[in-house]
Each structure stands twice: as structure tokens, then as C-alpha cells.
Structure 1
Amino acid sequence: MTAPSTHPRRPGAEALARIDHPSPATSPEDASPHRFPDGGAWRTEIPSVEGPEALAVVLEESTRLGLPVHRVSQGSGVWMLTDDEITGMVQACAERSVELCLFTGPRGTWDIGAATRTDSGGAGPRARGHDALAGCVEDAVRATGLGVRCLLVADEGVLWTLHRLRTAGVLPADTTFKVSALIGPVNPASYAVYEQLGADSLNIPSDLSLAHLTEIRRSSRAPMDLYVEAPDDLGGHVRMYEVAELVRRGAPLYLKFGLSRAAGIYPYGAHLREHALATARERVRRGRLVLDLLARHGADGDMSPLGSRLPGTLRRFPTPEGN
């Protein structure tokens, strides 16, 4: 773990003070009291790493730019990868002590139902019917059998079901579940419910305010995932200058380096290869820009050690299997 940040510099504060322009005061009461179990306040994540080639680009580029990477995540789903592709990604990540997170199964946005294509969005990416739920379970069993230990979910019922399977020993006990930004909670009560349902880290929408982060932290210590730069379909927000404050209020926090102004790549296939590799490379570069900014502001301390992945003890609803 890097040295803790004591008094990070506010962006522009010293220059503004020279002309007697006041900067807002920082309240210690806004700071999160929580940390990862290793003592770190933040970790990093590269999203949209859709297969072995994209992963190789991310690992190579992160070495070249000196970007520490704790986790890579994929959005197309376990079902879009062959066994050989999954085992290759598992091995490559293990060699670098990087956590691999794959998305589970069918989603409503790809289903035959028409409601998700209307202005209302219908039920969004949630699993429609028993078969979609079962498909997510199938993906989870298959992926963990191939060595994957982090799974992305976009449905509350899928999350609860997978947590029960973890509790019952069907899935490995050290499997972690990450809630997708597509259904991310937007208030403290819903955030706490997802934690109780089995979530080990939760994407929150990237347009939540700093005050919202503080409110959430008063109700839950479950790790938070936040796009510092969000894809366009999640708002396209770029919050680089807020990163130090996002960490201060939101810890324990995964800093996700997304990419705006880039075409979507889900579900990924070879027809999107060049775009996927180019955007994977640029996400790493964006991450380097964010960490450089943190360093300039004296706020780059408190990073979790590379290789750390577990969330610590979290609150859960009791299950019939015992918890």
C-alpha cells in the first residue's frame, strides 16, 4: 500500500489564493470512514476488456505506462467466450495478480421482448423469465469452474440466487459479485439492499453527486465502483478533477477508466476487433492521466496493494442455506 494522503491539494487552490479568490472548505465529516480490508482506499479497474486480445493490450499498455491495475472487467458475457479464451484470460491475469471479472448471461436488452427498445427502457438489462435466470447461473458455474472468481450481474434476482449458491458451496466461497452500472443503486437504502443481497462491489451511476457518495457511505461499507469517465450510454461524464474528492468520500472505491465518445462494443466479436483494441489501449491511457492528476494533488496515497481483491466482511440477508 502506498503512503497515506494527509492533506491533498485542492485543484487550483494555491493559484486562486494568490488573488484572494476563496475555495470551498472541506468538511472532515464528509470523509468515508471505510477502507478495503488491506487498508487501502482505492483500487483501479479497466472495463470493457472483451477477450484475450484486448486483455493482452491492456496488460502490455499498463506495463508501458506504469499503471497499476487491480481488476479488468468484461461486458459481453461469459457466453460470448470459449473455454480456451476464458482459461487464457484467467492465466494471464493470474500471472499479473489482476482480478478478472466476467459478465453473467442473458440480459433483457438482448432478449426478444420489445419493451427494452421503447423510450421507457422496459425492465432494462434484467433477466427475463426463468430461462434467462438459469442462463446466468449456467454462466456462473461454468466460469468459476474455469477459474474465474469475480462475476458481474445486472439483476437483483440473479445476484441473490448466485449468493445463495455461494453460501451453499455450489460456487466457490471466494467468488465475488459485482453489480453492473446498468442497474446501479442511486440512494443509500437501495445500496444497502444490494449489499445484503450478496454484492461485493457496486457500480453507482457516474452522475451521482459528491453528497450522494457521502450519504451512501453512512449506510454501507461495501466497495463502490465509479466510472471516472463514463461511456456515452451511461452519460459520458468526465470527472477527472474530482477524483481525490471521490476517493475521500467514496472509499473503498474502484476507479473505473471508461471512455466517452466511443461506439459500443457489446456483444463483442471479431468484426469489432480493431475498435475494441484501440479503445482498450486508450482506457489505460485515461487511467494514467487520472493517477498522474492524483499525484499532482498529493492524493495518490492509500492505494490497495496490487493483487488484493476481497471486499472484507459485509452485511447479508440470512439465506435458507445458512449464512
Structure 2
Amino acid sequence: MKTAPLPELQDSPEDSLRDVAGAHLPLPKSKIILWVIVLLFGSDFALTVATNKNFGWPTVGQYFFNETVLQGLWVTLWLAVVSMLIGVVLGLPIAIGRMSKDPLARGLSNAYVWIFRGTPLLVQLIIWYNLSFLFPKIALKIPFGPSLVQWDANALITPITAAIIGLALNEAAYMAEIIRGGLLSVPRGQRETAEAFGMKPMRALWRIIIPQAMKTIVPPTGNQFINMIKATSLVSVIAMADLLYSVQSIYNRTFEVIPLLMVAVLWYLLITSILSYAQSHIERYYSRGDSMHAARSTSDDAKTTEEDAK
């Protein structure tokens, strides 16, 4: 009795990624030439920048660890952390509101995101800083009734409060969209299963939906935090002594504009590089489940194909 020949298996894209032997093949000549050209141009540019006296590299080294610069760096870091935390806390209910079936909650959430994403952050910061021109007194009152408590806007809205309010409220709008995308990435069957077991919607949200959505929420949140570090430079326009404002205060005295700006640039690059490295590890951590699932699926498919061939 003749046996049927085994079907010829097609190579999948994953097989090429796992081709260890192919990974050690020498580079083609075209890629070698491209690498040489890139290295030549990159080396020439680096040498030009390093030997250009107009950058004032000795001055950069002199002020890199200056006390005023380090104080501004500390302000930048804690301002970014506080604003990001507030943005995440506010973004969660806004995201839930946008997904709600209640027209009022959905409408208010949509209006919030529309306003704070649709206007420049710099404009928002300036408005918050000059809020006393619009409302000299900030009051807690009964609608169309008397005021219960009121505060002087000039005393309440300082550069610090204006910076935190402006950055946090703007960040909340972006975090709401990130969180909403993460919640929508969870299969609807998960929610239905939780409801079938008698779990209340909020309990299912915290115990089932949000933990599964974290792998989608965390990586873009890292990007947002890196953007927040850079966005804090805008608070210099409202006299907030962040990193950029600190170097500006120095070069206004010394008139060494470019060297002091390079100090700020190098600090921003150093911070964002560290955060990017940490983010890459976080992304790998949350993608482990997908990689294991893909490997398991590939193995199961191979076994199925082998059984069918027999």
C-alpha cells in the first residue's frame, strides 16, 4: 500500500526570523557601502560640531553642573512627575466617561478632550497664569446664588499652580485617549464573562478589564511621560524656574546664549535617553505574553500539520 507523500510546508515570516544560520551571513556589498557613507558623513558632522568654537564647549562644561542649572533640572523632573500622575488619575474617569452609554457623561468627556487637545499647551499655560485678569476672585458658590467660599486669584494662581494645572489638565486629555484605546483593546467577551459570573461593572473594570488593558496602555504612557519632560520647557514663559528658564537666566547675564542652550539640550537628551531605555524594557516585559502565545500557536500549528500529514 502506497503512502501519500508529505505536503511541502511553506516557510512563515517567523521562520526567517528564527533562521540562526542566515543571521550570520556576511552583509552584501551594497549595505557595506551604505554603512561606510553614513559613517563618513556622521564622523565629518561630529568633528565639525566638536571643533566649532561658536558652540563654546568649555562654557558648556563649566555650567553643566551649575547649581542654578541643577535646581532648574530638579524643578523640571518633579513638575513632570506630578503633572503626569494627575493626568493619569484624571484621564481614567474621562476615558470611562467617553465609553459610557450615559449621554451626559459622554458629552462632558468628549467636550473636555476636544477643548484641551484642540488648543496649544502654551496658550493654555498663559491663560491659567493670567486667570486673575478674567476672574479676580475665584469663588465656590451656589448656582445663581451667594458665594460660599472665595479666594483672591492673584494669591491662588502662582507660576507653580499655573504650571501644574496647565500641564496636568492637558495631559489628562491625552491620557484619556490612551486609556480608552487600551480598554477597547480588551475583547468584549471578557466583560460579558465577568457579567455572567455576577460581577458588577466597576468591579469587572478593575479586576478584569484594566489589568488586561495595561499591556496596551503602559508603552504609550511612557512616550507621554517623555513628551511631558520636554513640554515642561514651555513653563519658562510664565516665569517658572525650570531647566530652560534657569539657563536663560544665566545667559541673560553672560550673553553666552548658544553654550547655555546646549547645556539644556544635553540634559534633556540625557533624561529622555534614560527614560527611553527604561521604556524599552517595560515594552519587552508587557510583550512577553504575546511572544509566548505566538510561539505556542506556531508549535500547535506545526503539530496539527504533522498529524494531518500522517
> What range is the shorter-chain TM-score in?
under 0.3
Bigger Rg, which one: 2
More helix, by proportion = 2
Select the structure with the greater relative contact order (CA < 8 A; seq sep ≥ 6): 1
TM-score normalised by L of structure 2: 0.23
TM-score normalised by L of structure 1: 0.22
More strand, by proportion = 1
